[in-house]
Chain A
Amino acid sequence: MTPPILEVQRLTMRFGGLTAVSSVTFAAGQGQITALIGPNGAGKTTLFNCVTGFYRPSEGVIRLHKRGVAPTELQRLPGYRIARAGVARTFQNIRLFPGMTALENLLIAQHGRLMAATGWGIGAVLGLSRYPAAEREGVERAKRWLSATNLMDRADDPAGALPYGQQRRLEIARAMCTEPALLCLDEPAAGLNPRESDELARLLLDIRQEGTSILLIEHDMGVVMRISDRVVVLDHGVLIADGSPAEVRGNAKVIAAYLGEDEEEVSA
């Protein structure tokens, strides 16, 4: 049996006296979409930031099993190494490079690979390296994701000038250009209209189809229940349920956690 793509073991994150995430253990399956849900303040984003290297967890292990390489313990890597290890992310409040074009955004995502082709900068300035070929390849990869996210005609527009829904898609395309093994999405459907949510769901299923595993935080239960293979529920920093969408939906603890807050959404 293949190991899960991501293993989180007894992860704890404390800020001063506040424990935001307390001894959470779960795994995200290889080639699956795993959703992380929970009421506001449950610790989802904190956990997410630990996985993607923005916080260093107080305790616990986060292990990435990328195919064909030895398992990596993410909590030991400096922040910028996480992406190179194979984890890409998007942000709840979109973080594109607004003054750069969509294409430039996607090329920056390929920084590591392109940079290596420049001979650490010096070679390419002198025109000596294999950089032009590498850049052509990078542009091709960017084009592939631009068409996958239906943004081809906006390639030369500044990212900051795109409408909201397109910015969301561009951010996913940018994350995919790092060629991750695990794609982490922080509320990708937030602020999207129903039609855009549908497109997003299809895009995520396509990404899974291509072999990239997905971990997402999402409040839109419609999207979560439709596309997730597995749902992990947090409440007050503690894991309260972990299972298939159907199992989680019927879980009494989950219903109690959401009661009075998002009850309708859970039953939706």
Chain B
Amino acid sequence: MKPASALPAALKDALIAAAVSAAIFIPLVALRTDVGPTGALTLRTRWPEAALLVGLVFLGRLALVLWTGRRGLRASTAPGPWTQRLQQAGRLAAPAFLALALVLPAIPGVDRYWLDLGILVLTYVMLGWGLNIVVGLAGLLDLGYVAFYAVGAYSYALLAQEFGLSFWVCLPLAGLFAAFWGVLLGFPVLRLRGDYLAIVTLAFGEIIRVVLINWVSLTGGPNGISGIPRPSFFGLPFSMAGGEGTFAGFFGLEPSPSHRVIFLYYLILGLALLTNWVTIRLRRQPLGRAWEALREDEIACRALGINVTTTKLSAFALGAMFGGFAGAFFATRQAFVSPESFTFIESAIILAIVVLGGLGSQIGVAVAALVLIGGTEVFRDLQEWRMLVFGGAMVLIMVLRPRGLVGTRTPSIALGKKRAIGGDLVGEGRG
């Protein structure tokens, strides 16, 4: 289409888009309902806002159509500049990220805020890596991953509080509990496929949350559990009082609240790296290869003598275990857990990190967690707009890059040089 004739067509297209968006936006944006002083609903008009939105849609659509032609945005699975750069830089980027993560607390100017943000991002990196085992490698669509995060957090909280066990005893126990639940929930549902599995795992996530809310005698109900013991440095508590037997006292340091934050930071970094290390090791071994083979073709796996059920369960249980570790960490960091932290939206965010990063790609997941979690934290001032932007970003990235940021797969073994495999060949799993 020549530019001369493209403009009227684009204008028409943009006008249609504007008309649709007017119909969509005007009632909800321009007519704001509020509860009035009498308790009845009143209406307040906000025409400028609605007009602004419609105008933005018009201009946005016009620019888009003129830029890309009438097809609009096209999904692309081909390795774009993004992917290639990430891949090329991958060998350098991963160690660079790691080095940055390791020295972050020592960088001048990095204060408590940045460390807390680092802890938050790393928690999601770990959750993403854990879920990546289930969704990215084994191709099992799990929409209830937050259930295991919750099991880990509550197991830790209860074990630490009721039995007074130390962090280093509770942590593995919380992971084991979560893995146990993974097996328990996984066993009956893992023969379901695709979307069915997704919806059942979602239902399990909700069941666990509802039970947490209502089993008041054990979980404290909606109020949650507070006063969870903070972690100690291998028996040395972090205390502002200092003195004999505390962390600061033992190492002869000035007592400071940042000691604990730095400790927590390294703790979650270690846990995340453990997840990464185990995943990378397993991927190069029969179990990990069997997971990926399951994702590619379950029937062929059966014909080759792979026990599909136990292989799926192992992925589910391992993913759940890392979710449980992350949950235990969450509990000890917050010193407080409540059902509110474990809603479906958490599962959706973790899944989004995995899919947006690129299924099966460790570096992609880490970058996606950094962008999504770090990004939305930086935009904290947007407050309630934050999730709106978050959801919009999810849609946009998916439409532009359905395979995620890193859409290619690296072979686990090669006779010669390992060459990345294009995303269009890699399976996505049926169950």
Chain A residues with CB under 8 Å of chain B are: 52-54, 79-84, 88-89, 91, 95-101, 103-104, 107-112, 114-115, 118, 121, 124-125, 131, 135, 139, 143, 155-158, 160-161, 174-175, 178
Which residues from 377 to 410 on chain B have a C-beta closer than 8 Å to any C-beta of chain A?
409
Given A80-B302, A91-B300, A114 and B286 touching (CB < 8 A)? yes
B287 and A118 contacting across the interface, CB-CB below 8 Å? yes
State A139–B287 Cα separation when bound (angstroms). Answer: 16
Does B306 contact A125, Cβ atoms closer than 8 Å?
no
- Which of B24-32, B140-148, B411-419 is found at the contact surface with chain A? B411-419
Q: How far is the CB of B272 from chain A (nearest CB, A)?
A: 17
Separation of A124 and B302 alpha carbons in the complex (Å) = 24
What are 24 sample pairs from A and B whose C-beta atoms fall under 8 A apart?
Answer: A83-B305, A84-B305, A88-B304, A99-B292, A99-B421, A100-B292, A100-B293, A100-B409, A103-B413, A103-B414, A104-B292, A107-B413, A108-B286, A108-B289, A108-B306, A111-B306, A114-B285, A114-B286, A115-B286, A121-B287, A125-B281, A139-B415, A156-B416, A158-B425
Find out whether the CB atom of B426 lies under 8 angstroms from the CB atom of A99: yes
Contact call B285/A95, Cβ cutoff below 8 A: no
- Given the known inter-chain contacts A89-B303, A111-B290, A158-B421, please indicate yes or no for A100 contacting B296, CB distance below 8 A: yes
Decide yes or no: A124 and B285 within 8 Å by CB, A80-B305, A156-B419 being known contacts.
yes
CB distance from A265 to the nearest CB of B (A): 28
Contact surface of B with A, Cβ cutoff 8 Å: 278, 281-282, 285-287, 289-290, 292-293, 296-297, 299-308, 314, 409, 411-419, 421-422, 425-427
Could you count the A-B residue pairs with CB atoms below 8 Å apart for me: how many are there? 136
Q: Taking the nearest CB of chain B, how far is it from the CB of A181, in angstroms?
A: 13
The answer on a CB contact under 8 Å between A99 and B278 is no
CB of B281 within 8 A of CB of A109, answer no
Q: A99–B306 contact, CB under 8 A?
A: no
- CB of A156 within 8 A of CB of B304, answer no
Closest 3 CB pairs of A and B: A83-B305, A99-B426, A97-B296
In the bound complex, do residue A97 and residue B286 qualify as a contact, i.e. CB atoms below 8 Å apart?
A: no
CA distance A100 to B413 in the complex (A): 10
Assess whether B427 is in contact with A98, with CB atoms less than 8 Å apart. Answer: yes
Question: Which B residues are CB-close (under 8 A) to A91?
Answer: 299-300, 303
Q: Is the CB of A139 within 8 A of B421?
A: no
Q: A100-B292, A156-B419, A158-B425 are in contact. Are A112 and B305 (CB under 8 A)?
A: yes
Whether B306 pairs with A104 at a CB distance below 8 angstroms is: no
CA distance A160 to B421 in the complex (A): 10
Given the interface pairs A96-B300, A98-B427, A125-B278, the reply to whether A111 lies near B305 with Cβ below 8 Å is yes
Do B286 and A101 touch (CB < 8 A)?
A: no
Q: Complex: how many Å from CA A118 to CA B314? A: 14
The residues of B that contact A98 with a CB separation of less than 8 Å are 296-297, 425-427
Q: Output the least CB separation between B426 and chain A (Å).
A: 3
Cβ–Cβ < 8 Å partners of A108 in chain B: 286, 289-290, 293, 301, 304, 306
Q: Complex: how many Å from CA A161 to CA B422?
A: 10
Beta-carbon nearest neighbor of A129 in chain B: B285
- Residue ID in chain A nearest B289 by CB atoms: A108
Nearest CB in chain B to that of A123: its residue: B285
Q: Are B305 and A156 in contact (CB under 8 A)?
A: no
Residues of A within 8 A of B304 (CB): 83, 88, 108-109, 111, 174, 178
- Are B292 and A97 interface neighbours, CB within 8 A? yes
- What B residues does A81 contact at CB under 8 A? 305
**Given known A80-B305, A118-B285, contact A100–B411 (CB-CB < 8 A):** yes
Partner of A139, one of B297, B300, B301, B413: B413
Question: Roughly how many angstroms separate A27 CA and B314 CA in the complex, as a whole number?
Answer: 39
Do B413 and A95 touch across chains, with their CB atoms under 8 A apart?
A: no
Q: Which residues of B contact A112 (CB under 8 A)?
A: 305-306
